[in-house]
Amino acid sequence: MTLDPRKKQELEAKIQSYVGVESVVGTASDLVNEPMIRHWCEAMGDDNPAYLDPNRAKDSVHRGIVAPPPMLEAWVMPGIRPEWTLSVEELEAQGRTIHKQAELMNVLTEYGYSGVVGTDIEHGFERYLKPGDQVSATLRIEDVSEEKATALGIGYFVTVKRSFRDQNGDEVGWNRFRILKFWPAEQPAAASNDAAPSANPTRLQPPRGHDNVWWWDAVDAGKLLIQKCDSCNTLRHPPRPMCGECQSLDWSGVEASGKGTVYSFTVLHHPKFPGFDYPFAAALIELEEGTRIVSNVLGCDPADVYIGMPVQVSVEQVDEATKLPIFRPVK
Amino acid sequence: MANSIADQTAIVGIGQTEFSKNSGRSELQLAAEAVKAAIDDAGLQPSDIDGMTTFSLDTNDEIEVARCVGIGDLKFFSRIPHGGGAAIGVMHQAAMAVATGTAETVVVYRAFNERSGRRYSVGIAEGIVTPDLIHWSWYLPFGLLTPASWVAMFTQRYMHEYGCKGSDLAEVAVSTRKHAINNPNAFFYGKELTVEDHQNSRFIAEPLRLFDCCQESDGGTACIVTTVERAKDLQHKPAVIRSAAQAAGADQENMTSFYRPSISHLPEMDLVAKQNYEMSGLGPDDIDAGIIYDAFTPIVLFQLESFGFCKRGEAKDFVKDGNLEVGGRLPCNTNGGQLSEAYIHGMNGVNEGVRLIRGTSLNQPAKNDHVLVTGGVGVPTSGMILGQAS
């Protein structure tokens, strides 16, 4: 499940238009006050007397109770029904308006990126807040990333900076919060699951061990190797530790010319697994050196692949995590 | 042949659960029910069993099944690897154990929730479940992840070399469906299939279509092997194991033997055939019916050639004209096979082979002297010939 390219283009134009946009978040409903400070400290397990004990706080450098700095955003939080859970009509009925970040979140949700997770936050503080201060906040959408592949699913990172000011208009602090708004990845599909995802980003990684790591390391370096027995010169693939012809344990890897022909192939349709765009061709390639290798034929319609088709290797990064020797038709 | 297992042993009891898409109970319960049913069918007591064998892939420990069923002391237990290739490998184990006197009465069982639990159709896509990590590295990243995809690679080449068509594969599917129509235990009981239906079904892994693939199933089956002498005193007509054999071919891989000079035939099944014919003294003309492992339609064609029912490349013609149906040259998979009855890893076919010898199949051919039963294809495999008691 993913967007078709046209819808994706439309979405990306919309969300990129939010970059640089500023918006009023609002003014705190309550002045900074001791009961809310106490609740916050209880919830967070913070027993600093500067926040809780008027007598001891009086003798501190603050000369009285102050609010914990990390509580800054709490003063302007919208309550248990944040604006992005409400329709525009509901918000207007409550005399609230939707700020631009919430609007951007709604756009992403509409297009299927319904998951949300905070990824990291930075804070900056100018001064401690004291009971009686009134906090107001504005925000600026600093960045909307390109589509990223993550373990949770594909999505966009949205970076928002909030600035907090007091009743005099002086800045008291800021934070920069990054959110991933994602298309929830689905579980690997059972064979009959037609709604299998192709959105999950990377292919299954080849396990590497003693007997094959050298071959995959060469692929990482852009080469297709064939194992050659140092004793009888027989080529073999897939690699094995001993030569089946002469039982020698000595071997080396020689670079293949990369020229070959399709010996057999299958066009895969179902079940659909993450990391692959179906339908696609998996093929058994006979290299001109004589060994065969399973790979993919890319660069043509899978329906145009045929037995005997001349192909040439190309070591390519097929997704963020996967570099493979794949084959393309010889023009 | 010295110390041959030929004609020493017989299958004297068969049992099975219902076959379903969701059994609603544990694999252990399915195994226990099937084993109990087989012991009852043989007219034996659980305490008569002194050996057990099953697939390496079976999750039901022999001793757990034994405790459930009340089987006491065991003198023999073993496991056979390579998925469906073990189907007759386990029969071979039982026959060897009984023929050598290692055990007297062995129960062979296989039970799984293969549809409602872990489905084999997802192949290795859920990650590596076997210790042969390196082997799969050559296939995983290229998306060759499922049994259908592995079989498709052989099939494409076979079809290319011999001019076999998708409609030829359809003949196999249609023949199993004709048998399933009469079998209330079959998923496709009462449901017809035409070549056109097959040809209109969607591709899974080209050239394989939906109806080229078997039915993923929950269920359990079991059978009892004992000596031909003891079989004489039991309640059913015994199915004598005339011969049984395992084989792995040169340059064999597990499902991906793509590197042999030719990939359009099965050297391991050729070797299973050769051993069975030598051990039994029989030939293809003596075989009256077949349970030919049919997880996918094309593998039936490959095996018909391995066992010499036709020449190499000619199975596409052999499967036409109703040759695989009752009244044809080689009635095959008369229970509906794994394509149309259920996929119990070939072991439901063993039970049907016994019914054919007894004369109690729902699609019983008139002549039933010898029945061939084979194991899974693409892996190290197995096969046996069942016959009548002398």
Same domain, A174 and A248: no
Same domain, A166 and A249: no
Distance in Å, alpha carbon of A80 to nearest chain B alpha carbon? 40
Same domain, A313 and A170: no
pLDDT (average), residues B154-176: 98
Question: Cβ-count burial of A250 within 10 angstroms (0-12 exposed, 13-18 middle, 19+ buried)?
Answer: exposed
Same domain, A153 and A272: no
The DSSP output letter for A246 is T
Same domain, A75 and A223: no
Q: Which of B29, B93, B94 is nearest to B64 (CA)?
A: B29
Strand order in the sheet with A225-229: A235-236, A225-229, A251-255
Q: Say what the pLDDT of residue A186 is.
A: 62
Is residue A44 a part of any domain in this protein?
Answer: no
| Residue-wise pLDDT tens digits, A13-34 | 999 999 999 988 888 889 999 9
Q: Say what the pLDDT of residue A197 is.
A: 44
- How many contacts (CB atoms, under 8 Å) link A and B? 125
Which CATH number belongs to the domain containing residue A179 in this structure? Answer: 3.10.129.10
- DSSP for B49-67, written as a single string: --EEEEETT--S-HHHHHH
Q: Are B384 and B371 spatial neighbours (Cβ–Cβ below 8 Å)?
A: no
| Partner A contacted by B277 (CB < 8 A) | no
Closest to A188 (Cβ–Cβ): which among B126, B133, B263? Answer: B126
| Partner B contacted by A96 (CB < 8 A) | no
Contact B125 A273 (CB under 8 A): yes
Closest to A292 (Cβ–Cβ): which among B145, B152, B259? Answer: B259
Q: Please give, one letter per residue, the 3-state secondary structure of B161-213.
A: HHCCCHHHHHHHHHHHHHHHCCCCCCCCCCCCCCHHHHHHCCEEECCEEHHHE
| Partner A contacted by B139 (CB < 8 A) | yes
Q: Say what the pLDDT of residue B3 is.
A: 76
| Residue-wise pLDDT tens digits, B12-49 | 999 999 999 889 899 999 999 999 999 999 999 999 99
Same domain, A155 and A9: yes
Is residue A199 a part of any domain in this protein?
Answer: no
pLDDT grade for A153, boundaries at 50, 70 and 90? confident
Distance in Å, alpha carbon of B128 to nearest chain A alpha carbon? 9
Q: Are B303 and B374 spatial neighbours (Cβ–Cβ below 8 Å)?
A: yes
Q: Round to whole Å and give the CA distance between A270 and A193.
A: 9
| Partner B contacted by A10 (CB < 8 A) | no
DSSP β-bridge partners for residue A286? A261, A292
Residues of B with catalytic function = 293, 343
| Partner A contacted by B201 (CB < 8 A) | no
- Cβ count near B187 (within 10 Å): 20
Same domain, A115 and A226: no
Q: Which two tokens stand for residue B47?
A: 């305490």
Q: Which two tokens stand for residue B263?
A: 């990939």
Q: Which two tokens stand for residue B280?
A: 């039994």
Is residue B175 a part of any domain in this protein?
Answer: no
Residue B256: its chain A contacts at CB < 8 A? 294
Torsion sign, CA atoms B22, B28, B33, B38: positive
Q: How many domains does chain B have?
A: 1
Which of these ranges, A219-223, A268-272, B116-120, has the smallest mean pLDDT?
B116-120
Q: Are A205 and A321 spatial neighbours (Cβ–Cβ below 8 Å)?
A: yes
pLDDT (average), residues A27-46: 92
Is residue A45 a part of any domain in this protein?
Answer: no
Q: Which of A140, A165, A184 is the last residue of a domain?
A: A184
The answer to whether the bond into A279 is cis (omega within 30° of 0) is yes
Is residue B259 a part of any domain in this protein?
Answer: yes
Q: How many domains does chain A have?
A: 2
Question: Residue B376 sits in which domain range?
Answer: 9-117+215-387
Instruction: Report whether pLDDT(A236) > 80.
Output: yes
Is residue A114 a part of any domain in this protein?
Answer: yes
Is residue B200 a part of any domain in this protein?
Answer: no
Residues whose CB falls within 8 Å of the CB of residue B60, separated by 6 or more in sequence, listed in order: B27, B28, B31, B54, B109, B111
Is residue A196 a part of any domain in this protein?
Answer: no
Same domain, A152 and A257: no
Residue in B130, B156, B210, B214 to test binding to A, most A beta-carbons within 10 Å: B156
Mean predicted lDDT score pLDDT of chain B: 95
Q: Say what the pLDDT of residue A83 is.
A: 64
Is residue A57 a part of any domain in this protein?
Answer: no
Is residue B131 a part of any domain in this protein?
Answer: no
Which CATH number belongs to the domain containing residue B51 in this structure? Answer: 3.40.47.10
Pairing of strands B76-80, B51-55: parallel
Q: Say what the pLDDT of residue A189 is.
A: 45
Same domain, A26 and A166: yes
CA B63 to chain centre: 24
Question: Residue A147 sits in which domain range?
Answer: 5-32+67-184
Same domain, A172 and A277: no
Contact A207 B143 (CB under 8 A): no
| Residue-wise pLDDT tens digits, A86-113 | 766 777 777 666 788 888 998 998 888 9
Is residue B70 helix, strand or coil?
coil
Is residue A60 a part of any domain in this protein?
Answer: no
What does the CA dihedral B105, B376, B211, B140 come to, rounded to 10 degrees?
130
Contact B149 A212 (CB under 8 A): no
| Partner A contacted by B65 (CB < 8 A) | no
- What is the Rg, in whole angstroms, of the alpha carbon atoms belonging to chain A? 30
Same domain, A163 and A291: no
Between the CA of residue B153 and those of A114, A249, A260, A298, B202, what are the distances in Å? 40, 31, 17, 17, 18
Q: Round to whole Å and give the CA distance between A219 and B141.
A: 13
Instruction: Report whether pLDDT(B124) > 80.
Output: no
Same domain, A169 and A237: no
Is residue A178 a part of any domain in this protein?
Answer: yes
